[in-house]
Amino acid sequence: MGHKKLVKFAAIDTYKNVLQYPEGMRGEWNTFFNNNNPITLELACGRGEYSVNLGRQHRERNFIGIDIKGNRIYNGAKTALNEGLDNVAFLRAHIGQITNFFTTDEVSEIWIVFADPFLKKGKEKNRLTHFRFLHAYQQIMKAGGKINLKTDSKVLYDFTLETIAEQKCIIHENIADIYGQGKATGPLAIQTYYEGKHLADGRTIYYVCFSLPYASIELTGRFKDKSIMDDVEGETNDEAGEVEG
């Protein structure tokens, strides 16, 4: 492990806004934040740019960026501390274990921003909008809570739309080209460093916002009696997957 990573890992060990594989946090996040404000998760958050920016815009809400890569979490955690954003925290954990850290009705909204689309054949099960992940989200989200996907991958976008239809989810907004419809506004206007690079390369940015069905999403086939962690292969986003210079 490089010196820079070691320094960052040592730093987050001291950050009060970073929790690493914590025990006993299910149902305790409002105690952690010392308020009863709604909780939004950013999954595979990488540098946490969305968590930080949403935290700046909405001090009346709490935001938790989740990623397995501590050296990436460092960036967002440090910024949040420096700016006094006490409504922003970071959780170092596998997203496949998300139900170990949150309880029923504890989460109001989820953002999935430039997540790894897992393009190799047979790896679709690792996509964060695969129905087995939706099943997990349903265990922790409030009824009607929104899930937001923002991606430059048409494969992941199309896959998500297919999954939404199959699981009878409710679509609130579907934009096939965010920037093709004029200037982005609200949360969609938040632009991460790597999103800027994608746009410079001429890539289209897709967005869909949906909520889960009221009926339970059932695990079927080979996933019926299997934990996500039995074969999870990491839930990094484009940012987390980059090699830092």
Q: Where are the domains of the chain?
A: 3-237
Share of the chain above pLDDT 90, in %: 81
Confidence of residue 194 (pLDDT cuts 50, 70, 90): confident
Q: Which residue shows structure tokens 């954003």?
A: 85
Q: Which of 51-65, 185-199, 228-242 has the highest mean pLDDT?
A: 51-65
pLDDT at 245: 29
Beta bridge partners of residue 174, listed in sequence order:
208
pLDDT of 233 above 70: no
Secondary structure letter of residue 218 according to DSSP: P
Active-site residue numbers?
A: 116
pLDDT of 90 above 60: yes
Give residue 165's identity as a one-letter amino acid code. A
What average pLDDT does the structure give for the chain? 91
Secondary structure letter of residue 96 according to DSSP: G
pLDDT of 111 above 50: yes
What kind of fold does domain 3-237 have according to CATH? Rossmann fold (3.40.50)
pLDDT at 242: 39
Helices (H) and strands (E) in the chain, counts: 8, 8
The answer to whether 241 touches 116, Cβ cutoff 8 Å, is yes
Q: Supply the pTM of this predicted model.
A: 0.91
**How far is residue 119 CA from its own chain's centroid?**
19
